[in-house]
Amino acid sequence: MRNDKFPDTDGFDLQNFLPFLLNQAAESASIDFQKVYKDRYGMLRTEWRVLFHLGLFGSMTAKQIGHRAKTHKTKISRAVHQLENRRFLKRTRDDQDRRVEWLALTPMGESAYRELRDIAVQYDAKLAGQFDVDEIAILRKMLRRLAGFE
Amino acid sequence: MRNDKFPDTDGFDLQNFLPFLLNQAAESASIDFQKVYKDRYGMLRTEWRVLFHLGLFGSMTAKQIGHRAKTHKTKISRAVHQLENRRFLKRTRDDQDRRVEWLALTPMGESAYRELRDIAVQYDAKLAGQFDVDEIAILRKMLRRLAGFE
DNA sequence: GGATAATAGTTGTTTTTGTAACTAACAAGC
DNA sequence: GCTTGTTAGTTACAAAAACAACTATTATCC
């Protein structure tokens, strides 16, 4: 880890320190998209994540979503409540195991999902567009590894 | 953006969506280091960021730190208070402009900084170590661009 | 030089998160 | 079948973050 900009420091470069760098990149990269689901749909981050999971994978339990999104069950629980209040999803108890409830989007939820998904696709393309295709492939591969997705 | 794992979905792949992917990678990559400054020093993220900035760049104002770390001034203000309470830094008013205060680490702050910095260097090396050197260079370059560092 | 605006930093209030304890349902062992 | 343990999800309370309004000081400009 070198430090080109401040060679008079002690050899540690904060702007290249991966936890800091990743966090800053993640913040910058998500801020404009955040505005969409926040200002336009009044959603929190966990809420759109639940919405996206249900939109993508159909019916899921809170636990399954939490596991895939690495999100604590209390956060999921609150997001589900909120989405339910806004009529974006409905729950149905599992008959075999009555602790479990299956979550699925309502038509309203589906439509919100489709709109946000399309925006997300464009948004991702715009972010990726500033790099070479092979570079962006390397980036995603490394990030998936860091994220523990594979 | 293709979706190999769930080809029966609608072509959107959440695990490759950059804002989500970056955030997950950032979370995973920082969790173990977070434990160090949290459990061992009782620090919050913003507090170690202030500490690191002062350790790296010497005397700075709250505003300068906030700008470099992209952190809101209220968060910086509270972190500075906390670090001051723990005798990690001291403030001195600027004589030219008495709104400004210059922040600098105390010897105790310096020593905490050095310890955390050494851990950070090792930690970064461990993270980077799982990739090729040229790949990691590409990763950092792209992340710096995404983060708006250059 | 006095009104107005801008700036550095703080404080107060509201949201959101984190953590732990909780309920309800099921499972296992005996 | 009854104790003990586990699991899905919720709730309550404490910690932290977000946001807006504030103080104190300096800059602008007529």
User: Residue B67's pLDDT is what?
Assistant: 97
- Best A139, A141, A144, A149 member to test B by mutation, with max B CBs in 10 Å, is A139
Measured CA A93 to C1' D1 distance, in angstroms: 27
Provide mean pLDDT across the span A3-28. 81
Nearest to B147 among A25, A136, A147 (CB): A25
Which residues does nucleic strand C approach, with CB less than 7 A?
Answer: A 44-46, 72, 74-75, 78, 96-99; B 61-64, 73-74, 76-78, 80-81, 97, 99-101
Chain segment B118-136, per-residue pLDDT in tens: 999 999 999 999 999 999 9
CB–CB of A127 and B146 under 8 A? yes
CA–CA dist A124, B145 (Å, integer): 15
Percent of chain A with pLDDT over 90: 92
Full-model pTM: 0.91
Kindly list the strands in the beta sheet with B89-93, ordered across the sheet, starting from the edge strand earlier in the chain. B60-61, B101-105, B89-93
CA–CA dist B145, B116 (Å, integer): 26
Chain segment B20-39, per-residue pLDDT in tens: 999 999 999 999 999 999 99
Beta carbons of A51 and A116 less than 8 angstroms apart = yes
Measured CA A96 to C1' D5 distance, in angstroms: 20
CA–CA distances in Å: residue B68 to residues A96, B12, B15, B77, B88:
55, 34, 30, 15, 20
**pLDDT at residue B6 is higher than 60:** no
Q: Token pair for residue B133?
A: 């050197």
Beta carbons of B72 and B83 less than 8 angstroms apart = no
- Best A4, A134, A142, A150 member to test B by mutation, with max B CBs in 10 Å, is A142
Nearest to B127 among A18, A28, A140 (CB): A18
A49 contacts in chain B (CB < 8 Å): 20
Q: Which nucleotide is nearest to B98 (CA to C1')?
A: D25
User: Residue A150's pLDDT is what?
Assistant: 82
Contacts of residue B66, defined as CB under 8 A and 6 or more positions apart, other chains included, come to B72, B73, B75, B76
Chain segment A77-92, per-residue pLDDT in tens: 999 999 999 999 999 9
User: Residue A11's pLDDT is what?
Assistant: 80
